[in-house]
Structure 1
Amino acid sequence: MRETPFGQVRAVGFDLDDTLCVYMPVAVQARRAMMERYLAPQTGLPIETLDQHYKRAFHSVLEELHTERWYPLYLREGRATRTETFRRLLRSLNLDADGLAERISEEYAALREQMLHLHEESLEVLHALRGRYPLFVITNGPAYEQRRELQVLGLEGLFDIVAIEGEVGVGKPHAPIFEGVQRELGLPADQILFVGNSWAHDVQGARNVGWRAAWVNREGEPHPDPASGVPDLRDLRPLLEWL
C-alpha cells in the first residue's frame, strides 16, 4: 500500500469513455458524416443546423431514457434509443423516417466503432499500474456497446473488475455501481482511487461513497478542486509514486 497525495491507495479504477478512450469527438465526427451523406443533400441545410436538430432529438430521448419504455432496452444494447434519436431527427426535418433511421443508425454505429481509439497514454499508464494495484473500470452505457468497446480497444484482460451500467442495472454517479465494485475489492472506501473525466459522474460519484478521486481535465475547464485534477493520465504516475 502506497502513501500518495490521494492517501493510501490499494486499488485504482478508471472511467472508459473520454478517460481511457476518445469517444465524444469520434461520435460527433461520425454523426456529422451521416448528415453529410444523407441529410444535407435532401434538406440543403448546413451541417451546423442539422447538428442542432440532432441535439434536440438526442435530448428528447435522453429525457425519456429512464422510463419503462426505453431503459430496459438501453441497458442491453444502444440500438433502440440510437435509432429513435435519428427517427426524431428525421421527423423534425420533415423527412420520411421509415427505414432511413435504421440505416443511418447502423452506419453511424459502425463508423463510430471504426474511429474509436485510446488516448495515446492510456496503455502506458495501465501497464505501469498493472501488477502494482488491482485495476477496474466503471463505465456507463449499454452492456453490448461497452463490452464491444473494451474488445475493440484491446482492453479486455487488463482489468480485475469490469462494472458496466447495462450489466449492473444502474450507472454513475449512483452509489450502487461503486459499492458493488468495492465489495468485490474487499477494501475500505478511502483506499480506492477512481479516475475519470466527468466531475459529476466520476469524481462526485466516487467521493459520495468515500473513495478518492482524480479528475482528468484535458480541456483545462474551471476546476472545483484543483488538488484533484490532472491534465492527462500520465500525471498519475508521480502522484502514485511510480517513478
Structure 2
Amino acid sequence: MIYYRNIGQIKAMTFDLDDTLYDNYPYIIRAEHALIEFLGSFADDPSHSHPGYWRDHRRATLKKKPELHSDMGMLRREVLTSGIQAFGHSGHALKSAVDEAFDFFYFERSNFQVSTEVTDILSKLGERWPLVAITNGNVNLEQIGIADYFQKSFHASLAFPMKPNSAMFDAAKKLLGLPAESILHVGDNLEKDVLGAKKAGFMSAWYAENRAMSLSGEDVTVLPDLQLQHLSELCDLN
C-alpha cells in the first residue's frame, strides 16, 4: 500500500465495480459479440447485423441525444430501436424485438460471478463499514453475486451523470448520512474515480483489477490518497 496523503477516520466505503472488483473487458466484449449475432435474427439477412452497422446507429443516436452519454441502458435501448427499425420492424413487433434484445444483452453482460476472493474481502469490509456501489456501468449486482454486500448501488443515468460528476457520490453521502471526508471511495480510474471522489470531498483509494498499476501509464490529474497493491489491503485500514 502506498500513502500519498494522510487519511482521516474511515466510516464508510464506496466502490466502483467494473475493472475494480473484476476485469470487465472480456465479459463486455463477449456480450457485445453475442448481441450482434443475436440481432441478426431480426434482419432479412443476418450479415446485415455487424459491428459497423451498430456503431453507425450509436453515433447517430448520440449526435441526436448527447445526454445519453450518461445513461448506457437508455442509450442501448435507443440504438436497438433505431437499428431494428431500419431492418423493417415497426409497432408491437419493434417494441418486442427491442425488449428481447435488451434483455438478452444485459443477461449476457452480467453472465459471470465475482471471485470468492473478492466476495470474502467485501464480506470482511462489510462487517466493519457500510458499503455502497457507485458505477458508470450497469452490471446486474445480483446476477454476479455481490448485491448483498452493498447497502445500495448507484448506476449512471440521466438523473445521476457519470463519474467524475459528483451526483452519485453526493447520493451515496446522503444515503449514508456521513460527512464526505469520512468516506473512502475505491476505484480503478484516476479521472472518473479518484478525481470524482476528490471533487466530492471523499477520500480515495486507487486499485485496478484489470491492469498493472503504474502512474506513468495513466492519465494523472490528481493523486489518490492511497494506492493499493491488492484489494485485501483495505482490510488493514483503521
Normalising by structure 1, we get a TM-score of: 0.69
Aligned pair partner of 2:160 in 166, 170, 173: 170
Kindly provide the amino acid, as one letter, of the partner of residue 160 in structure 2.
Answer: V
Residues of 2 paired with 1:232 and 1:119: CA distance? 14
Task: Tell me the secondary structure at the aligned position of residue 45 of structure 2.
Answer: helix
Question: Over residues 93-133 of structure 1, what are the superposed CA-to-partner deviations in whole Å (9 max), with x where a residue is unaligned?
Answer: x74455575243332233323x1332553212111212222
Alpha-carbon distance in 2 for matches of 1:120, 1:58? 36
For residue 127 of structure 1, what is the aligned residue in structure 2? 123
Work out whether residues 193 and 213 of structure 1, in 8 Å CA contact, stay in contact via their aligned partners in 2: yes
Asked whether the equivalents of residues 21 and 117 of structure 1 are also in contact (C-alpha less than 8 Å), the reply is: no
1:192 corresponds to which residue?
183
Deviations 1:134-180 (A, max 9, x none): 22222345xxx66xx122233333223443445x9223322233223
Query: Do 2:11 and 2:182's aligned partners in 1 also have CA atoms closer than 8 Å?
Result: yes
Q: Distance in 1 between matches of 2:160 and 2:119?
A: 27
Offset of 1:26 from its aligned partner?
A: 1.6
Tell me if the contact between 1:22 and 1:116 (Cα under 8 Å) persists in the aligned partners.
no
Instruction: Give the alignment of 1:132-211 within 5 angstroms.
Output: 132-140=128-136, 149-166=140-157, 169-171=159-161, 172-211=163-202
The reply on whether 1:219 has 2:211 as its aligned counterpart is yes
Indicate the RMSD between aligned Cα atoms, in angstroms: 3.8
Deviation, 1:6, is 5.4
Mapped partners of 2:51, 2:26: distance in 1: 14
Residue in structure 2 matched with residue 105 of structure 1 by the alignment: 102
Q: Does the 8 Å contact 1:10/1:133 carry over to 2?
A: yes
Partner-residue secondary structure (3-state), 1:214: strand
Number of aligned residue pairs: 219
CA deviations on 1:9-67 (whole Å, 9 max, x unpaired) are 2221112333335544322212212334554993658x9xx334434433443452527
Residue pair 2:4, 2:225 contacting (<8 A) in 1 also: no
Q: Residues 109 and 207 (structure 1 numbering): CA distance in 2 closer, same or farther, change over 3 Å?
A: same
Over 3 Å counting, the alpha-carbon distance change for 1:62 and 1:173 in structure 2 is farther
Q: Residue 121 of structure 1 contacts residue 233 of structure 1 at CA under 8 Å; is this kept in 2?
A: no
Contact preservation (8 Å) 2:14, 2:186: yes
* Unmatched runs of 5 consecutive residues or more in structure 1: none
Q: Determine helix, strand or coil for the equivalent of 2:148.
A: coil
Residue of 225, 231, 234 corresponding to 2:232: 234
Following superposition, the deviation at residue 88 of structure 1 comes to: 4.3
Distance 1:105 1:230 in 2: 36
Matches within 5 A, 1:14-25: 14-25=15-26
Partner of 1:58: 58
Following the alignment from structure 2 to structure 1, what is the Cα–Cα distance between the partners of residues 56 and 206?
29
In structure 2, how many angstroms separate the alpha carbons of the residues matched to 1:83 and 1:180? Answer: 25
Contact 1:140-1:165 within 8 A present in 2 as well: yes
1:201 to partner: Cα distance:
2.1
Instruction: Check the 8 A contact 1:191/1:211 in 2, yes or no.
Output: yes
1:42 aligned to which of 42, 45, 62: 45
Show the counterpart of 1:11.
Answer: 12
